[in-house]
Amino acid sequence: MEYFSNRAESGVQRVAQPTAVEKKKKDPAKRLAKRRFAGFPAMKTLAPRMYRDRVKSLYDGPKGAGLAIASLVSMHSPLVGRMFRRRDFDVTTAQAILDIGSGAGQIIKHLVRCAPENAHIVGIDISHQMLKRARKQIPSHRPVLITADMTHLPFPDETFDVITCGYVLEHLQDPMPGLLEFRRVLKPGGRLLMLVTEDTVPGVWTSRTWKCRTHNRKELHEAFVAAGLPWRDQKWMTPVHRFLKLGGIVFEAEKRELAAS
């Protein structure tokens, strides 16, 4: 108080406060933040636990039952399978693989075919119903499927040498708690294959349908670096995906030592 009254007495000219509209216009960071959160609006206001319950009942219900068909339309499941077969993302030497948000088994069913026969494959999802649907799609009883949240993974540190995570991270408002869990359960040098909804027009449409957010490529990259999971490369499922910016942000990341501050 004293500071302000002294300034007033010493004749410092007061600058009129900008109106709310002027503030919005002037502040590019706020404009950008608004754009970044294009997507399911309630995600910003709901407490994380309530939001997670909404997501769980969405996937438990009829929309979740249609997820396998939606994935056929988007073609991402066979294209991820092709990525494994061509070793664009190599799983042929992995001994322990975790698929996060297994959904209807779109990724894990290909892991069963492409990973070594003795590899441990585990899938987790918050929706028990989705895991039951995944079980029907997987051509083997080998993978262990567990109901769990990606921010509280029920595994010891440094358990897995590969993590796959297709269109799941966007169900966290702040990706960092998820990334730190991924890092914790990965062995040193472990690798991740990530597919994430991007803030493009198709991405915003996806986020409305599946009650999630979109991600900005540059900021997502920065978040992974901060979590000690730098990207090895960015991938496109096909040249058409690259040209039309479809399929979201697809990349391989690796667990490295955090740089000393």
Q: Which is nearer to ligand SAM, 96 or 153 (CB)?
A: 153
Q: Which is nearer to ligand SAM, 159 or 256 (CB)?
A: 159
Q: How far is the CB of 29 from ligand SAM (least distance, A)?
A: 28
Q: Which is nearer to ligand SAM, 103 or 203 (CB)?
A: 103
**Which alpha helices (DSSP H) does 192-244 contain, by range?**
201-209, 217-226, 239-244
Binding residues vs ligand SAM (CB under 6 A): 52, 55, 59, 71, 101-103, 106-107, 124-127, 130, 149-150, 166-168, 171, 210
Select from 158, 159, 110, 105 the least CA-distant residue to 127.
Answer: 105
- Taking phi over 0 as left and psi of -120 to 50 as alpha, with beta for the rest, 259 belongs to beta
Q: For residues 100 and 127, is the Cβ–Cβ distance under 8 A?
A: no
- How far apart CA 181 and CA 109 sit, in angstroms, is 23
Q: Which is nearer to ligand SAM, 52 or 184 (CB)?
A: 52
Q: Which amino acid is residue 239, in one-letter code?
A: P
Q: What are phi and psi of 121, to 5 degrees?
A: -120, 125
